[in-house]
Structure 1
Amino acid sequence: MSDRALTVESVDSGYGEAQVLDDLTLHLEQDEIVCIIGPNGAGKSTVLKTVFGLLEPWEGVIRLDGEEITGTPPEDLVREGVGYVPQVDNVFGSMTIDENLRMGGVARDSGLEDVIADLYERFPILDEKREAKARTLSGGQRQVLAFARALVMEPHVLLIDEPSAGLAPNIVQNVFKDVQKVNDLGTAILMVEQNAREGLAISDRGYVLDQGTVAYTDEADALLDNPEVSRLYLGG
């Protein structure tokens, strides 16, 4: 059993005949937050889609806790302990909060009521609005619901794509606090974030992707202090 929650080794991936990821290697330690940053089109979201089995890698190996999961379908990965929060279409707008959470637990064999009760305790805003339709929620509230729905299966690795996308600046910090809250309870998080400085600020380590490969990797604080990274990828 590896100490690493997730490893991606020499992975090539893409869409159709268009290659996006080129010999990509990265890893996620147990209980860590790792942030992937980089310019638009660098392949950040493609990393998460490939890990989660939405795209099958052309080359390379992906491991979860040391066991190979390369090309495993998403429905099987959820049972193995991997959760995924996509950037868009991450809640069912016509369903209530409670119905969304129950949909997140359709693959559970037992314990659904207990885990939903725990999520309501951890995220009081969901408890207050549990019978509200998801489409009536604010952007930040929808993001919290998306996190909570992914947590119904109690994953130990959570993939999050652009949690701050489309949110007002005053809401972004609250969403990042929720990401930290999830991590503090023992879930390792691999997060893609366009809001690079804020994403790195809550992370342990970071990867800078450029043209589908790792251009820089370091502790998050070191990336924030790196003048070359700042000039090229953080806006100076």
Structure 2
Amino acid sequence: MSDHVLELTSVDSGYGEVQVLDDLSMHLDETEIVCLIGPNGAGKSTVLKTVFGLLTPWNGTVAYHGRDIGGMAPEDIVREGIGFVPQTDNVFSSLTIDENLRMGGVAREEGLDEAIGQLYDRFELLDEKRAAKARTLSGGQRQVLAFARALVMEPDVLLIDEPSAGLAPNTADDVFGHVQAVNELDTAILMVEQNATKGLAISDRGYVLDQGTVRFEGPADGLLEDDQVSKLYLGG
């Protein structure tokens, strides 16, 4: 049986009549972190939206544990076992932390209180502020809440779109630490990250996208050391 928990094969996708992804193929193995990097407009976020059902692939397949989920509704994909933390609007600002977590588990049929309790045990800052409105949190704390909200359904794949966007360097480092902590829950992570160097530093493998297709791929440390990748995409 393949270890590929998620696999995209020859995927074309886009918005309206505008094609963004062009014959794109990649995979995510169980329990690993894979980072997508590349210039603005390369199609990185489009990959996540296509996997999560916000976009329907025009061609190709999006397979989860070998089953084609391309075009499924996002709520059904959540139930299958895939979570998504978008870059923006990833928490409900007017709701408390506890209410946010309960919204994240709205599709659970049982075990919601237990799942939320486990998340409070793992993310102590949320436990300490469970009655606080999400709008009172710092940027880094909001990201942690967004991770936790996506984990209420106990996914085995988590899609994360630019977790460090808009954060100060020290706060971004804390958020990357939480990404690694989530991965230690045996959750495979497919992450888009604008800070390519730091994103690759915590990843097992990486893909460099350009003009909607894969330009380079390989172990994360190999991409960090690749002169051509460094020159074109890492500012080296």
Report the TM-score, using the length of structure 2 for normalisation.
0.99
In 2, Cα distance between equivalents of 1:18 and 1:65: 29
Structure 1 residues 99-108 or 63-72, which shifts more? 63-72
1:84 equivalenced with 2:84 (yes/no): yes
Looking at structure 1, the residues matched to 227 and 153 of structure 2 have their Cα atoms a distance apart, in angstroms, of 41
Query: What SS does the corresponding residue of 2:53 show, helix, strand or coil?
Result: coil
Report the counterpart of residue 9 of structure 1 in structure 2. Answer: 9
Please list every run of 5 or more consecutive structure 1 residues that lacks an aligned counterpart in the other structure.
none
Determine the structure 2 residue equivalent to 1:226: 226
Q: Which residue in the other structure is 1:214 paired with? A: 214
Amino acid at match of 1:16: G
Distance 1:179 1:170 in 2: 14
Q: Is it true that 1:196 corresponds to 2:196 in the alignment? A: yes
Q: Does 1:67 align with 2:58?
A: no
Q: Which residue of 1 aligns with 2:53?
A: 53
Q: Which amino acid aligns with 2:213?
A: T
**Do residues 135 (structure 1) and 128 (structure 2) align?**
no
| TM-superposed deviation, 1:2 | 3.2
Quick one: distance in 2 between partners of 1:185 and 1:51? Answer: 21
| C-alpha distance in structure 2 between counterparts of 1:184 and 1:126, whole Å | 19
| Equivalences for residues 116-131 of structure 1 within 5 A | 116-131=116-131
Counterpart CA distance in 1 for 2:136 and 2:5 is 36
Amino acid at match of 1:15: Y
Equivalents in 2 of 1:229, 1:4: separation in Å? 25
Instruction: Give 1:38's aligned amino acid.
Output: G
**Segments of 4+ in structure 1 off by > 3 A?**
none
> Deviations 1:160-218 (Å, cap 9, x if unpaired)?
00000010111011000000000011000000001000000000000000000000001
Give the whole-Å Cα distance in 1 for the aligned partners of 2:232 and 2:138: 33
Measure the CA separation in 2 of the matches of 1:226 and 1:55. 33
Aligned pair 1:95/2:95, yes or no?
yes
Are positions 1:111 and 2:111 aligned together? yes
1:81-119 CA distance string (max 9 Å, x none): 000000000000000000000000000010000000000
**Mapped partners of 1:67, 1:22: distance in 2:** 21
Q: Secondary structure at the match of 2:42?
A: coil
Which AA in structure 1 matches 2:177?
A: K
- The one-letter code sitting in structure 2 at the alignment partner of 1:172 is A
Ranges in structure 2 where 5+ consecutive residues have no aligned partner: none
SS at match of 2:215: strand
Residue identity in the other structure for 1:134: A
Aligned to 1:37: 37
**SS state of the match for residue 56, structure 2?**
coil
How many residue pairs match? The answer is 236
Q: Distance in 1 between matches of 2:89 and 2:70?
A: 25
Q: Give the structure 2 partner of residue 184 of structure 1.
A: 184
Please give the alpha-carbon distance, in whole angstroms, between the structure 2 residues aligned to 1:23 and 1:103: 36
Distance in 2 between residues matched to 1:68 and 1:200, nearest whole Å: 28
Q: Look up the SS of the partner of 1:50 in the other structure.
A: helix
Alpha-carbon distance in 2 for matches of 1:119, 1:100: 12
State the alpha-carbon separation in 1 of the partners of residues 114 and 50 from structure 2. Answer: 32
Q: Provide the rounded CA distance (Å) in 2 between the counterparts of 1:159 and 1:2.
A: 20
Give the Cα–Cα distance (whole angstroms) in 2 for the partners of residues 99 and 35 of structure 1: 30
* Secondary structure in 2 matching 1:62: strand
